[in-house]
């Protein structure tokens, strides 16, 4: 009897582990060679986005990341898109919520008086949010997180947002798809501003030889 219980517990643990791995298998991959961005729930549900004329700017912040960038594209199919890709080193950590930092910076840089969430879906490691801007128009953000990497997609027209969300949630129907969209030109970087705003930093390290904490 005891053996059966142990085997059952092991089977449950394995099932939970597999399920957890499946939830963390969301896809984000950009190839600068063919200018295609791949997004999706998993490898069997991929949405390829052909970028029209992507403009990439690379950023680094001392020892915390060396592989981060922003990407802007005036896309023929989806309209204006902006992406920030942040890959932190293992010995660095965010000092708050990455999505909150990004939203606050968008509001500040675009000089918005209000940014109200009107729709939000958290599926797998994706977060879909649409905002009412200045009580007048709408703006969508797709946030993809996992491991030490955070990716923010600012979608002005909402077309990519709708297509990608429907690949996760086939019964999704937008109530604001034909509403007025906010047209702006956000072109900033959390990584570039980190030296001033301290969005992320190196973890404290204890040096046993001299007994002090070191933080860079």
What's the chain look like in SS3?
CHHHHHHHHHHHHHHHHHHHHHHCCCEEEEECCCCEEEEEEECCEEEEEECCCCEEEEECCCCCCCCEEEEEEEECCCEEEEEEEEECCCCEEECCCHHHHHHHHHHHHCCCCCEEEEEEEEECCEEEEEEEECCCEEEEEEEEEECCEEEEEEECCCHHHHHHHHHHCCCCCCCCCCCCECCCCCCCCHHHHHHHHCCEEECCEEECCCCEEECC
- Report which of residues 133 and 184 the model is more confident about: 133
Whether 47 is in a domain gets the answer no
pTM strictly above 0.95: no
Mean pLDDT of the chain: 84
Whether 64 is in a domain gets the answer yes
The tokens of 126 are what? 């994706």
Whether 18 is in a domain gets the answer no
Give the total number of structural domains in the chain. 1
Give pLDDT, residue 165.
Answer: 95
| pLDDT surpassing 50 at residue 11 | no
Whether 8 is in a domain gets the answer no
| Across 24-51, average pLDDT | 87
| pLDDT surpassing 60 at residue 25 | no
Predicted confidence band at 6 (pLDDT cuts at 50, 70, 90)?
Answer: very low
Beta-carbon-side half-sphere exposure of residue 151 (alpha carbons within 13 Å): 21
| pLDDT surpassing 70 at residue 46 | yes
Which range marks the domain in which residue 160 is found?
53-214
Whether 41 is in a domain gets the answer no
Whether 42 is in a domain gets the answer no
Whether 177 is in a domain gets the answer yes
Predicted confidence band at 41 (pLDDT cuts at 50, 70, 90)?
Answer: confident
Predicted confidence band at 206 (pLDDT cuts at 50, 70, 90)?
Answer: low
Whether 165 is in a domain gets the answer yes
Give pLDDT, residue 13.
Answer: 34
Rounded distance between C-alpha atoms, residue 146 and residue 165, angstroms: 18
């Amino acid at each position: 009897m005891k053996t059966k219980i142990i085997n059952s517990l092991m089977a449950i643990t394995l099932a939970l582990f597999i399920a957890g791995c499946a939830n963390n298998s969301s896809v984000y991959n950009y190839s600068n060679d063919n200018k295609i961005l791949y997004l999706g729930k998993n490898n069997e549900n991929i949405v390829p986005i052909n970028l029209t004329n992507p403009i990439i700017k690379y950023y680094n912040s001392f020892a915390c990341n060396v592989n981060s960038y922003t990407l802007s594209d005036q896309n023929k199919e989806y309209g204006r898109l902006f992406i920030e890709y942040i890959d932190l080193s293992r010995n660095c950590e965010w000092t708050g919520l990455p999505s909150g930092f990004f939203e606050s910076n968008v509001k500040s840089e675009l000089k918005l008086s209000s940014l109200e969430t009107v729709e939000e879906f958290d599926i797998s490691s994706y977060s879909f949010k649409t905002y009412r801007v200045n009580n007048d128009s709408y703006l969508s953000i797709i946030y993809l997180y996992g491991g030490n990497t955070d990716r923010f997609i600012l979608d002005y027209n909402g077309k990519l947002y709708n297509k990608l969300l429907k690949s996760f949630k086939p019964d999704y129907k937008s109530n604001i798809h034909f509403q007025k969209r906010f047209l702006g030109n956000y072109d900033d970087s959390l990584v570039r501003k980190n030296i001033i705003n301290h969005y992320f930093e190196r973890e404290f390290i204890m040096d046993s030889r001299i007994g002090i904490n070191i933080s860079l």
